[in-house]
């Protein structure tokens, strides 16, 4: 049996779930993007591109660095310097 949620509540739940996912990725910096790509087929950079695309669909022009900072919680280059291990790889 499934609960029929009002559309606004469903949207709020989805937004909160997204925020929890982003916070989880920020809190678990030991998980590398390459590991996420290999296991899940997406990474932090994918999330930032999806974020940017959805903003664009709504008429907002967000740069790639701005979208990445939204996901990483800091400038991407800073995150790479602090947390990226191994060869510097940038998933496109």
pLDDT for the residue 88? 58
Q: pLDDT tier at 91 (50, 70, 90 boundaries)?
A: low
CB-count exposure of residue 26 (10 Å: 0-12, 13-18, 19+): middle
- What does the pLDDT look like over 25-58, one tens digit per residue? 999 999 999 999 999 999 999 999 999 999 999 9
Residue 86: CB partners within 8 Å, gap ≥ 6?
A: 32, 34
pLDDT > 60? residue 24: yes
The listed CATH number (3.10.580.10, 3.10.20.30, 1.10.3720.10, 1.10.3340.10) that belongs to domain 7-83: 1.10.3340.10
Domains of the chain, by residue range, sit at 7-83
Q: What is the mean pLDDT of residues 82-90?
A: 75
Please indicate whether residue 89 or residue 19 has the higher confidence score (pLDDT): 19
Q: How far is CA 55 from the centre of its chain?
A: 13
Q: pLDDT tier at 16 (50, 70, 90 boundaries)?
A: very high
Q: Give the range among 11-25, 28-42, 74-88 with minimum mean pLDDT.
A: 74-88
């Amino acid at each position: 049996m499934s609960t029929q949620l009002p559309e606004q509540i469903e949207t709020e739940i989805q937004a909160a779930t997204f925020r929890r996912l982003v916070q989880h990725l920020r809190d678990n910096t030991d998980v590398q993007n390459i590991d996420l790509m290999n296991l899940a087929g997406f990474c932090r950079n994918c999330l930032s591109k999806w974020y940017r695309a959805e903003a664009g669909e709504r008429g907002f022009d967000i740069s790639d660095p701005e979208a990445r900072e939204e996901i990483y919680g800091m400038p991407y280059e800073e995150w790479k310097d602090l947390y990226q291990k191994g060869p510097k790889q940038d998933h496109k």
